[in-house]
Structure 1
Amino acid sequence: MTSDAAGPEASVPPRRTYSFLGPAGTFTEAALAQVPEARGQIWRPVHNVGEALADVIDGRAHAAMIAIENSVDGGVSTAQDALATVPGLRIIGEYLVPVDFVLVGRPGAQLDDVSLVAAHPVAYAQCLQWLTRTLPAHAHIPASSNVASALGLLDGTSDADAAIAPPGILEHHDLELLAEKIGDNLNAVTRFVLVGKTVAPPEPTGADKTSLIVELPDDRPGALLEMLEQFATRGINLSLLASRPIGDELGRYRFVIDADGHVHDERMADALLGLRRFSPKVIFLGSYPRADRAVVRYPDRYSDDVFVEARDWLRGLLSGEPEG
């Protein structure tokens, strides 16, 4: 005889896995910490963007958090190229992380004793003014990542006296804080996107963003202008426009685009149809809520009602209805 009542463990859903650029303490981990549905789930550290996206495609992870843009250095080309070449992916959310750095040393270290600093080249460039003022005679050892620069101090693989690292490193490792907020741009921000497998877009919120990758049909005068007109003539603002070489020959480019609005908006849907007619390849990466939750504003002449009325007017012409 069997019981119809299931045990309490039967109702507990399996934990989801989220991949992120590790190890613990990275800015990417800080971005993942902003995702409510990722809390209490499995966080899988990986070595690079390609590995993170492969986890999603192969089913090892429900989603992956990757950096896509930095307010100081611009677009992250490795992430943009991966999204352009790996099919079956969809951006399902975006998150902003302030880029702040600390200078750390081995336990007991002092700032006055620092002469050799380990840092990822990008982090070093963003802290160079502070280093020049505070440690004018220092030398730099390049590190493979922001976290690796600090871990090298602890495992003995680095000869540096100190390292530039994200503040989160102090939550995971026993390091001496020598200085904080050493970045030269206090408003620096990195934009991250959460990427999953292709799904239907969520309902619009009014504060949305649509990401696309569009290839130009050929290298000719006016081709870029023609692409941009698909947005301009429909009142759509672009918050990101970055070019990346396709790689098959000189003069061939794809453009990474963030457009204000949602694919369910009539004006955005109309722009995508125009792009599809114009471009040999349009990759829809997703429509999702903006991280800043800023409501998208546009003139009344680009409202959904205007596009619907225009379509109804055309249908009337084709059906022979008298114009009123």
Structure 2
Amino acid sequence: MPDSANLTPAAAETYSYLGPAGTFTEAALKQVPAAAGKSWRSVNNVGEALDDVVTGRSVAAMIAIENSVEGGVSATQDALASIPNLRIVGEYLVPVNFVLVARPGTTLADVKVVNAHPVAYGQTHLWLDANLPSHGHLPATSNVAAAASLLASDLADAAVAPPGITDHHDLVVLAEAIGDNPNAVTRFVLVSRAAALPAPTGSDKTSIIAELPDDTSGRLLEMLEQFATRGVNMSLIESRPIGDALGRYRFVIDLDGHILDERVADALLGLKRFSPRVTFLGSYPRADKLAISVIPRYDNDAFVDARAWLRGLLTGEPLPPPARP
């Protein structure tokens, strides 16, 4: 859970999220039991949300980090790489689908121009092309802004928006489930200031960011071997430019397991010896609650036994007989 120590009473009761009300980010924040009944602060972008956490205006911020269709959210990855002392304390999954909304009295036949955020438009263009073949697209700054704009002007006849938008705006739904991919999901993370680690659950994820020491051939393979030789699976690896020179990249990595798992801890020790910079973003329960499967030679007991064996060699203690296969 987020650590509310050293926060003002108001900040300890405040959670930041990308708003306004009705966004997918708000839907993710609704999944956080500790946030129920607290103050929710709507912000305009990821940077503002994380700044709220760093400056103590909020105890935590909900931000999108990955989409099953489009991959990692670069703004979030870059912000987490550059802002120190932040921790991911939880992850949440939100199915992503869209509805087409309009002002009351509008029919589908009336729609000539559709207001939509470019990402939402890209994820609904097959439906729009099939059902509104001659429509025009008016870009919006957010999914909710697209819907709200219908009440502020008549430049567009309809908007692509999240389900439930009519709870916040006087609009009608012309069509539901217009997303091109019915399996689209966005992964959100709750970010707080550095605090005590949650205990391992057996269904955990560890997020890090690492840089290569140089551009020598094989460096990426060397980094990946830190995980492969310890039986640590990567559920995500994406590159992001560091920005100081062409060809310089950092890698955003999600590992299956908790930092208190022996194999993960050992892999991170190896990575730290290899990489000039490793940023630990946190170990936290997986949203899907799937148990991590580990083969016996990489489980905790195997690492403990190996250290005991080495200690016996160094101290001259009698060694136990080797285990039979």
TM-score tier by shorter-chain length is over 0.9
String of CA shifts for 1:251-307, please: whole Å, max 9, x gaps: 111100000000010000000000000000001100000000000001011110100
| 1:26–1:168 contact (8 Å) kept in structure 2 | no
The answer as to 2:270 corresponding to 1:274 is yes
| 2:16–2:49 contact (8 Å) kept in structure 1 | yes
Q: 2:259 aligns with which of 259, 263, 272?
A: 263
String of CA shifts for 1:190-231, please: whole Å, max 9, x gaps: 000000000121100000000000111111111111111111
The answer as to 2:54 corresponding to 1:57 is yes
Q: 1:171 aligns with which of 147, 157, 167?
A: 167
The answer as to 2:91 corresponding to 1:106 is no
The answer as to 2:177 corresponding to 1:181 is yes
Correspondences of 1:194-205 after superposition (within 5 Å): 194-205=190-201
**Aligned-residue RMSD, C-alpha:** 1.3
Aligned to 1:123, what secondary structure does the other structure show? helix
Matched with 1:124 is 121
Matched with 1:72 is 69
Correspondences of 1:1-324 after superposition (within 5 Å): 16-156=13-153, 159-324=155-320
Q: Residue 312 of structure 1: CA displacement?
A: 1.2
Mapped to 2, the partners of 1:181 and 1:13 lie a distance apart of 39
Q: Residue 181 of structure 1: CA displacement?
A: 0.3
Q: Residue 13 of structure 1: CA displacement?
A: 10
String of CA shifts for 1:96-121, please: whole Å, max 9, x gaps: 00001000011221111001001011
The AA in structure 1 aligned to 2:253 is I
Q: Does the C-alpha gap of structure 1 residues 130 and 13 become closer, same or farther in structure 2, counting only changes over 3 Å?
A: closer
The AA in structure 2 aligned to 1:172 is H
Mapped to 2, the partners of 1:197 and 1:169 lie a distance apart of 32
| 2:11–2:59 contact (8 Å) kept in structure 1 | no
The AA in structure 2 aligned to 1:149 is A
| 1:204–1:262 contact (8 Å) kept in structure 2 | yes
The AA in structure 2 aligned to 1:47 is N
| 1:15–1:42 contact (8 Å) kept in structure 2 | no
Aligned to 1:154, what secondary structure does the other structure show? coil
Aligned to 1:184, what secondary structure does the other structure show? coil
Mapped to 1, the partners of 2:180 and 2:11 lie a distance apart of 44
The AA in structure 2 aligned to 1:45 is S
| 2:88–2:282 contact (8 Å) kept in structure 1 | yes
The AA in structure 1 aligned to 2:52 is D
String of CA shifts for 1:62-107, please: whole Å, max 9, x gaps: 0000000000011000000000000010000000000010000112
Mapped to 2, the partners of 1:289 and 1:15 lie a distance apart of 22
The AA in structure 2 aligned to 1:88 is N
Q: Residue 321 of structure 1: CA displacement?
A: 3.0
Please, what TM-score do these two structures have when normalized by structure 2? 0.94
Aligned to 1:132, what secondary structure does the other structure show? helix
The answer for unaligned runs of 5 or more in structure 2 is 1-8, 321-325
Aligned to 2:92, what secondary structure does the other structure show? strand
The answer for unaligned runs of 5 or more in structure 1 is 1-11
| 2:206–2:284 contact (8 Å) kept in structure 1 | yes
Q: Does the C-alpha gap of structure 1 residues 117 and 147 become closer, same or farther in structure 2, counting only changes over 3 Å?
A: same
Please, what TM-score do these two structures have when normalized by structure 1? 0.94
Mapped to 1, the partners of 2:94 and 2:317 lie a distance apart of 56
Q: List structure 1 runs of 4+ shifted beyond 2 angstroms.
A: 12-15, 320-324
Mapped to 2, the partners of 1:153 and 1:58 lie a distance apart of 36
Matched with 1:8 is none
Mapped to 1, the partners of 2:208 and 2:11 lie a distance apart of 32
Q: Residue 129 of structure 1: CA displacement?
A: 0.7
| 2:12–2:59 contact (8 Å) kept in structure 1 | no
